[in-house]
Amino acid sequence: NMSKSYYAESSSQTNKEDSHLHLHGEHCKDVSNSGIQRENCDLESLTCVHQDEGVVASSIDNYGDLRRRFNPTRPGDFATLQAELVRWRCREERKITDISRNDGEKQEMTKLLLKREAHLLRKIEQLKNSATEKCKREKIRHVMELMSQPKQWEASDGSVIAVDNPVTCRAREMKAMHDELSGLVKSVEERIRLLGRIKAFVDKVEHSSLAEDVSMLLDRELQMLHQCTDIGQEFMEGMRVRLFNQFTKLVMRLNSDACNGAER
């Protein structure tokens, strides 16, 4: 029975998408390339790419298009996915019209179609958020590298000399603290020493609401660590994520020239 096969197909696809959405929720912090590729796998029915690997590999243009579909990173890639979604829905609507036997059956199948479409829209949004977060991290990494590089000066004989000045030395110190702050907490003693170094640095920078917020977060965690206060792993992790994000903003603000250079 053709209508029953549509119900079975819809149920199988929806369950598959539910499973992947559940996995995404458990690993929402994982925005690596592999994580993005896992999300894309269940968009195969949407993009309708079922080609032999040998055929794909034989065409660079085709392979590039395939990679953009299954690993979207740019606005144009997501526009393509949205267009594919529209075409996919049209195909499904035609299929429902062809195989439904009455209005009631057509209405039920349309409900299933809307559910599948909602899942695909959520997955596209997840991919977009992952790509945005990855782009943001890459920009921060690039700024950190730029700001800590020595200044290039041209000597009278035409040679280029790398020169450190107080600004680049301070920037290099900030990069080192930022890198440490982003790492895993190995011990309470090491964490206290790191937070103490950052606190001494932040207290020297120009007073602003952002610097005061970072200082307050540092004081709060230092107090909890010194007093061995148990506030629960989840709450502590949330505090540390906020501290890292605020310190990152402060570093970027204090090195606006490097930020502008990274955007060019």
Overall size of the chain counted in residues: 264
Record the tokens describing residue 172, joined without a space.
């290099």
Write down the pTM of the prediction: 0.59
**204 near 247, Cβ under 8 Å?**
no
Give Cα separations from 20 to 12, 13, 14, 51, 147 (angstroms).
13, 11, 10, 23, 40
With a cut of 60, say whether residue 176 has pLDDT above it: yes
Mean pLDDT of 97-114: 90
Q: Which two tokens stand for residue 156?
A: 């009278």
Residue 205 has pLDDT above 60, yes or no: yes
Confidence of residue 259 (pLDDT cuts 50, 70, 90): low
| pLDDT of res. 180 | 92
Computed from CA positions of residues 242, 243, 246, 252, in that sequence, does the dihedral angle turn out positive or negative? negative
Q: How many CB atoms lie within 10 A of CB 28?
A: 12
Kindly report the number of other CB atoms within 10 A of residue 124's CB atom: 20
Q: Residues 113-122: what's their mean pLDDT?
A: 91
Least confident piece of the model among 42-56, 141-155, 213-227, 250-264:
42-56
The predicted pLDDT at position 111 comes to: 92
Confidence at residue 29, expressed as pLDDT on a 0 to 100 scale:
37
Lowest mean pLDDT among 53-67, 105-119, 189-203: 53-67
